[in-house]
Homo-oligomer: A and B are copies of this chain.
Amino acid sequence: MDKGSFRTIDSVGRGELIKELMEHSSFSRDEVIQGYGDDCAVLENRGEGIYQLLSSESFMEGVDYDLTYVPLHHLGYKVATAAVSDIYAMNGTPQVVLVNLAVPNKISVDMLKEIYRGIGAAGKDYEFQIAGGDLTASHKTLGISISCRGEVPGNNVIYREGAQPGDAICVTGDLGAAAAGLRILMRENKFWREQEQQQAFQPDLSDYEYVVRRQLVPVARKDFIEQLTDLNLSPSSMIDLTQGLVSELKHLTGASEVGAYFYQAALPISLDTRSVADEMKEDVDKYALYGGEDYELMFTLPEQKVEKLADEFSDFTVIGKITDSSEGIRMQKAEGDVAVFDGREE
């Protein structure tokens, strides 16, 4: 970034800044009566039988991301993905987001605009409008928090609760890629920090493109939700994979008051993810079981509906089945013995 173009936030003024930032809200929805520019965003109602959905995600610098290797527009896209992924996990449609930023001195107007550019790009992909938010100062670290409002017809909403013994446990896409991407970025960052002459962080990541992209610019599964609508299919339960498979299985089985039995060999893991684990001399299943931020969807379906889905949609895998609550969460390992995961959570 050209140093001459570094404008501080103070020099621009809050009103002008917000106006500039909002230029990146490129998708407009008819129901937005008033977006930014007043105390609240105002939305028209859509009639009876529709539920509103609200979700919220916070990302703090130094905890959830490192600005050394996370481009700001990717950061904006990713936080938006996290917020809309929660809406999709209820079988809903995102509509508007509010963006709260806590901004330290080191962040310029142009850098903030980069964040909004990422959110705006996500808005195009997921068809939401940025409808407002708040800006505050921060001493050292950048904080970003996105709330999303969506809606879903009341008889289509899918909760974590509802899985029945015998239901197939399915996941979209593949698992552990975001964790693999993070390992690569952390290694390159460490390498960069150890150089005496620190150049701009421009490592050659072309060999790791897939996993790095999964870490930096994850995509929420809008396509799957649309497929469900097209097929008039309703999973008995659903959750998005924010924290890793085992953790989310605990959430889902806890809410549904059931157990789960799944197969290590069935875990969908990409070749790229496997090759990172090999290079790192680590167990790739750990990436799949405990690595977070894949933003895939996990859902449960009665057996006969699995075939109906598979006829039209291929990007999902059956990894096991729902069992009785007393069985807990168990995984049959590739070698044949069974691992038990303790401590269900609601």
Give A residues with C-beta under 8 Å from B.
13-16, 19, 33-34, 37-60, 62-64, 86-87, 89-90, 92, 96, 98, 100-102, 131-141, 143, 145, 147, 149-150, 152, 154, 157, 159-161, 239-240, 251, 254-255, 345-346
Q: Which of A50, A60, A147, A152 has the most CB of B within 10 A?
A: A147
Please state if A40 and B100 are interface contacts (CB–CB under 8 Å): no
Residue of B nearest to A83 (CB): B134
Please state if A37 and B89 are interface contacts (CB–CB under 8 Å): no
Which of B39, B58, B346 is in CB contact (< 8 Å) with A102?
A: B58
Residues of chain B with a CB closer than 8 A to A19's CB: 346
Please state if B58 and A100 are interface contacts (CB–CB under 8 Å): yes
Please state if A54 and B38 are interface contacts (CB–CB under 8 Å): no
Residue of B nearest to A157 (CB): B42
Residues of chain B with a CB closer than 8 A to A14's CB: 345
Instruction: Given the known inter-chain contacts A40-B92, A86-B40, please indicate yes or no for A147 contacting B54, CB distance below 8 A.
Output: yes
Q: Which 4 A-B pairs have the closest CB atoms?
A: A15-B345, A39-B86, A39-B89, A147-B147
Distance to closest chain B CB from A90 (angstroms): 5
Please state if A54 and B239 are interface contacts (CB–CB under 8 Å): no
Bound complex: CA A239 to CA B37 (Å): 11
Residue of B nearest to A247 (CB): B14
Residue of B nearest to A52 (CB): B43
29 contacts between A and B (CB under 8 A): A15-B345, A37-B160, A38-B90, A39-B89, A40-B53, A41-B53, A42-B51, A42-B152, A43-B52, A43-B54, A45-B47, A54-B132, A54-B147, A56-B98, A56-B134, A58-B102, A58-B134, A58-B143, A60-B102, A60-B136, A62-B139, A63-B139, A64-B136, A64-B137, A102-B143, A102-B145, A134-B145, A139-B140, A143-B143
